[in-house]
A and B are shown apart, each in its own frame.
Chain A
Amino acid sequence: MMPRAKLVAQKREAAAALLDGRALPEGGAWATKARNAAEARLREMGLPVKRDEYWRYTDPRRLTDANVQPGKLHAQDDETPVFDAVDRVKLVFVDGVFDASASDAPELAGVEICHLAEAARADLHWARDLFGVLEARGQVPVARPLASLNSAFATEGLLIRVTGKAEKPVSLIYQRKDPAAEALTHHVIRLEAGAELTLLENGPVAARYNQVLEMDIADGAVLHHVRAQGRDHERAGATHLFARLGAEAQFKSFTLSANGALTRNEAVIWLDGAEGSAHIAGTTVGDGAFHHDDTVFINHAAPRCESRQVFKKVLRHGAVGVFQGKILVDQAAQLTDGYQISQSLLLDENAQFLAKPELEIYADDVKCSHGSTSGEIDQSQLFYLRARGVPEDQAKLLLVLAFLAEALEEIADPVLAEDLRGKMEAWLKRRA
Chain B
Amino acid sequence: MLEINNLHCELEDDSEVKILRGVSLTINPGEVHAIMGPNGSGKSTLSYVLSGRDGYEVTEGSTTLDGADLLEMEPEERAAAGLFLAFQYPVEIPGVGNMTFLRTAVNAQRKARGEEELSAGEFLKIIRAKAKELQIDADMLKRPVNVGFSGGEKKRNEILQMAMLEPKMCILDETDSGLDVDAMKLVADGVNALRDAGRSFLVITHYQRLLNHIKPDVVHIMSEGRIIKTGGPDLALEVEENGYGDLLAEAQA
Contact = CB atoms under 8 A, between A and B. Distances in A.
Contacts of A399: 93, 96
A403 B54 contact: no
A395 B87 CA distance: 18
B95 interface: yes
B96 to A, nearest CB: 5
Contact of A391 (B51, B53, B95, B108): B108
Contacts of B75: 383, 386-387
B79 A381 contact: no
B93 A390 contact: no
Chain A interface residue bracket vs B: 20 to 34
A381 B91 contact: yes
B54 A388 contact: no
B178 interface: no
Contacts of A387: 51-53, 75-76, 78-79, 85, 87
Contacts of A405: 94-95
B225 to A, nearest CB: 22
10 contacts: A384-B91, A386-B74, A387-B79, A387-B85, A388-B101, A394-B104, A398-B104, A402-B93, A402-B144, A403-B95
Interface of A: 379-381, 383-392, 394-395, 398-399, 401-406
Contact of A381 (B74, B93, B106, B161): B93
A380 B87 CA distance: 11
Interface string B143-172: 010000000000000000100010000000
A381 B147 CA distance: 12
B80 interface: yes
A384 B92 CA distance: 9
A389 B94 contact: no
A385 B101 contact: yes
A149 B79 CA distance: 60
A386 B78 CA distance: 9
Contacts of A383: 53-54, 75, 91
Interface string B211-228: 000000000000000000
A387 B165 CA distance: 11
A387 B78 CA distance: 8
A12 to B, nearest CB: 48
Nearest to B75: A386
Contacts of B85: 387
Interface string B177-202: 00000000000000000000000000
Contact of A389 (B91, B95, B108): B108
A384 B90 contact: yes
Contacts of B63: none
A394 B74 CA distance: 14
B87 A389 contact: no
A398 B96 CA distance: 7
Q: Which of A398, A403, A406 has the most CB of B within 10 A?
A: A398
Given A386-B79, A387-B52, A398-B104, A392 B95 contact: no
Interface in B26-69: 51-54
Contacts of B11: none
B118 interface: no
A56 to B, nearest CB: 32
Interface in B102-135: 104-106, 108-109, 112
Residue of A384, A387, A389 with highest tally of chain B CB at under 10 A: A389
In order of increasing CB-CB distance, the 9 nearest A-B pairs are A402-B95, A389-B79, A405-B95, A389-B109, A388-B105, A386-B75, A384-B91, A402-B96, A386-B76
A375 to B, nearest CB: 13
A390 B104 contact: yes
A343 B75 CA distance: 29
Contacts of B51: 387
A399 B96 CA distance: 8
A405 B147 CA distance: 14
Given A379-B54, A385-B101, A398-B96, A390 B91 contact: no
A399 B95 CA distance: 8
A381 B90 CA distance: 9
B95 A388 contact: no
A383 to B, nearest CB: 6
A401 B87 CA distance: 24
Given A383-B54, A384-B87, A389 B96 contact: no
A383 B52 CA distance: 9
Contacts of A388: 79, 101, 105, 108, 161, 165
A390 B108 contact: yes
A391 B96 contact: no
Given A383-B54, A404-B95, 12 more contacts: A383-B53, A383-B91, A385-B101, A387-B53, A387-B87, A388-B108, A389-B79, A390-B108, A394-B104, A398-B101, A401-B95, A403-B95
Contacts of B106: 389
